[in-house]
Structure 1
Amino acid sequence: MAQSQQLKKDESVEEAYFTLRSGHRIPALGLGTWKAETNVVRDAVYNAIVECGYRHIDCAHIYGNEKEVGEGLQMAFDAGIKREDIFVTSKLWIKSCVPEKVRPALDTTLSDLGLKYVDLYLIHWPICLSEDASSPPKKGQVLPFDTVGVWREMEKLVEQKLVRDIGVSNFTVKKLEHLLANSTIKPSVNQVEMHPSWRNDNVLNYCKKENIHVTAYSPLGSSSTDLFHAEEVIQTSEKVGKTPGEIMIRWLIQRGVSTIPKSSNKERIKENMRVFDFKIPDEDMQKLSSVPTQKRTNPGGELIVTSEEEKESILREFWEGEL
Structure 2
Amino acid sequence: MEARIDRKDLFVTSKLWCTNLVPERVRPALENTLKDLQLDYIDLYHIHWPFRLKDGAHKPPEAGEVLEFDMEGVWKEMENLVKDGLVKDIGICNYTVTKLDRLLRSAKITPAVCQMEMHPGWKNDKIFEACKKHGIHVTAYSPLGSSEKNLAHDPVVEKVANKLNKTPGQVLIRWALQRGTSVIPKSSKDERIKENIQVFGWEIPEEDFKVLCSIKDEKRVLTGEELFVNKTHGPYKSASEVWDHEN
**TM-score when normalising by structure 2:** 0.94
Q: Mean alpha-carbon deviation: is it higher for 308-317 or for 158-167?
A: 308-317
For the pair 1:247 / 2:167, whether they are aligned, the reply is no
The residue number in structure 2 matching 1:11 is none
Tell me how far apart the structure 1 counterparts of residues 68 and 48 of structure 2 sit (CA, whole Å).
15
For the pair 1:288 / 2:212, whether they are aligned, the reply is yes
Structure-2 change in CA distance of 1:282 and 1:102 (3 Å): same
For the pair 1:83 / 2:7, whether they are aligned, the reply is yes
Q: Deviations over 1:25-70 (max 9, x none)?
A: xxxxxxxxxxxxxxxxxxxxxxxxxxxxxxxxxxxxxxxxxxxxxx
Q: SS at the partner of 1:87?
A: coil
Return the structure number with greater relative CO, CA threshold 8 A, min gap 6.
Answer: 1
CA apart distance, 1:321: 7.9
CA apart distance, 1:108: 1.2
Tell me how far apart the structure 1 counterparts of residues 239 and 84 of structure 2 sit (CA, whole Å).
36
Tell me how far apart the structure 1 counterparts of residues 191 and 150 of structure 2 sit (CA, whole Å).
21
CA apart distance, 1:293: 4.2
Return the match for 1:261 from 185, 209, 216.
185
Q: Map 1:173-252 onto structure 2 (within 5 A).
A: 173-252=97-176
Equivalent residue pairs, number = 245
Q: Deviations over 1:224-249 (max 9, x none)?
A: 11211112101110111111111000
For the pair 1:119 / 2:47, whether they are aligned, the reply is no
Q: Deviations over 1:70-91 (max 9, x none)?
A: xxxxxxxx52432212211110
Structure 2, gaps ≥5 residues long: none
Amino acid at match of 1:253: L
For the pair 1:271 / 2:195, whether they are aligned, the reply is yes
The residue number in structure 2 matching 1:144 is 68
Quote the sequence identity (%): 53
Tell me how far apart the structure 1 counterparts of residues 51 and 235 of structure 2 sit (CA, whole Å).
16
The residue number in structure 2 matching 1:101 is 25
Structure 1, gaps ≥5 residues long: 1-77
- Contact 1:199–1:294 under 8 Å retained in 2: no
Q: Mean alpha-carbon deviation: is it higher for 313-322 or for 95-104?
A: 313-322
Calculate the aligned-residue CA RMSD, in Å: 1.8
CA apart distance, 1:132: 2.8
For the pair 1:168 / 2:92, whether they are aligned, the reply is yes
Q: Deviations over 1:160-184 (max 9, x none)?
A: 1111000100000000000011110
CA apart distance, 1:222: 0.7
CA apart distance, 1:254: 0.4
Tell me how far apart the structure 1 counterparts of residues 150 and 48 of structure 2 sit (CA, whole Å).
26
For the pair 1:301 / 2:225, whether they are aligned, the reply is yes
Tell me how far apart the structure 2 counterparts of residues 151 and 312 of structure 1 sit (CA, whole Å).
23
Tell me how far apart the structure 1 counterparts of residues 159 and 229 of structure 2 sit (CA, whole Å).
39
Q: SS at the partner of 2:216?
A: coil
CA apart distance, 1:135: 1.4
Structure-2 change in CA distance of 1:303 and 1:263 (3 Å): same
